[in-house]
Amino acid sequence: MQTATGIKREQKKVRLGTRKEFPTDSQARRRLNDIIFHTESSSPVPETMTFGELAERWRVSEGPTLTKPTFDRYAMVLRTWLLPFWKDRTIQSVTRNGIQLFLNGKAGTFSKSSIRSMRLVLQMTLSFAHLNGWISTYPCVKIKTPRITNESRTVKRAEMTEQQKLNISARLAEPYSTLVVLLTRIPVRIEEAIGIKEIDLAGHVLTICRVVYEGKVYDLQPNEQRKIPIMDMELLARLRKLGEGRKWVFQSRNGTPVNPCNARRRFLKPAATELGITLCGWPRFPPQPDN
Query: Tell me, what amino acid is at 210?
Result: R
Separate counts of helices (H) and strands (E) for the chain: 12, 7
**Residue 153 CB coordination number (10 Å):** 12
The β-bridge partners of 211 are: 218
| Angle at 134 (CA atoms; ends 129, 135), nearest 5 degrees | 85
Pinpoint the alpha helices (H) of the chain: 25-41, 51-62, 68-77, 83-86, 96-106, 112-131, 162-170, 176-185, 190-193, 233-243, 260-263, 269-274
Distances (CA, A) of 163 to 105, 168, 185, 268: 43, 9, 11, 15
Q: How far is CA 225 from CA 199, 207, 208, 218, in A?
A: 14, 7, 5, 12
List per-residue pLDDT tens for the chain, 291 residues long: 655 556 667 677 777 888 888 888 888 888 888 877 766 665 555 568 899 999 999 999 999 888 888 899 999 999 999 999 999 999 989 999 999 999 999 999 999 989 999 999 999 999 999 888 888 889 999 999 999 888 775 555 556 788 888 899 999 999 999 999 999 888 899 999 999 999 999 999 999 999 998 888 989 989 889 999 999 999 999 999 999 999 999 999 999 999 999 998 999 999 989 999 877 666 555 454 443
Domains of the chain: 51-153 (1.10.150.130), 162-284 (1.10.443.10)
Q: Which of 126, 121, 60 is nearest to 93 (CA)?
A: 126
Q: Are 262 and 245 in contact (CB under 8 A)?
A: no
Sign of the Cα torsion 63, 65, 70, 74 reads negative
Residue of 117, 156, 112 lying closest to 278 (CA atoms): 156
Q: Is the dihedral of CA 72, 75, 80, 81 positive or negative?
A: positive
